[in-house]
Amino acid sequence: MQEETIVAIATARGRAGVGIVRLSGEKAVEIAGKVFAPLGGKSLNEAESHRAVYGNIVINGRRLDDGLAIVMRAPHSYTGEDVAELQCHGAPVLLREIVAACCELGARPAEAGEYTRRAFLNGRLDLLKAQAVMDVIEAKTSASLKLAAGHLSGKASAKVSRWREDILDILVHLEALIDFPEEGIEELSLEEAGEKLSEICLEMERLYRTRNTGKILRDGLVTAIVGTPNAGKSSLLNALLGEERAIVTDIAGTTRDSLEEYADIGGVPLRLIDTAGIRDTEDRVEQLGIQRSRAAMEKAELVLALFDGSRPLSEDDRELLNSLTGVATANPYNSLPSRGGGTKRGGVTASQYNSLPSRGGGTKCGGVTASPYNSLPSRGGGTKCRRGEESEDNQSAYPSVAFGDSSPKGEPNKKVFLLITKSDLRGCDDTEAAIKEAAGDKAQLFNISSKEGAGLEQLTAAIREYALSGVSDEQLTEGGVATEWEAYRLAEAMKSVGAAADAINAGLGADCATIDLTAAVDSLGAILGLTASEDVVDHIFSRFCVGK
The 10s digit of each residue's pLDDT in 485-525 is 889 999 999 999 999 998 888 887 777 788 999 999 999 99
Instruction: Go through 459-471 and write b for each residue having 16 or more CB atoms within 10 A of its CB, e for each that does not.
Output: bbebbbebbbbbb
The 10s digit of each residue's pLDDT in 231-256 is 888 888 888 888 665 444 444 444 44
pLDDT band at residue 285, thresholds of 50, 70 and 90?
low
Q: Are 142 and 542 in contact (CB under 8 A)?
A: no
pLDDT of residue 174: 84
The 10s digit of each residue's pLDDT in 388-442 is 333 333 333 222 224 433 333 333 457 889 999 888 776 666 777 888 877 776 6
The 10s digit of each residue's pLDDT in 131-178 is 888 888 888 888 888 888 888 888 888 999 999 999 998 998 888 777
Tell me the C-alpha distance between 235 and 3, whole Å: 57
Q: Are 308 and 231 in contact (CB under 8 A)?
A: yes
pLDDT of residue 392: 39
Tell me the C-alpha distance between 390 and 155, whole Å: 26
Tell me the C-alpha distance between 367 and 365, whole Å: 5
pLDDT band at residue 282, thresholds of 50, 70 and 90?
low
DSSP code for 280 = -
Strands (E) located in 147-216? none
Q: Could you write out the DSSP letters of every residue in 237-279?
A: HHHHHTS--S---SSTT---S-EEEEEEETTEEEEEEE-PPP-
Tell me the C-alpha distance between 202 and 389, whole Å: 11
> What pTM, to 2 d.p., does this model score?
0.65
The 10s digit of each residue's pLDDT in 304-340 is 989 888 888 888 888 888 877 543 333 333 344 333 3
Distances (CA, A) of 419 to 238, 253, 326: 16, 20, 17
pLDDT band at residue 82, thresholds of 50, 70 and 90?
very high
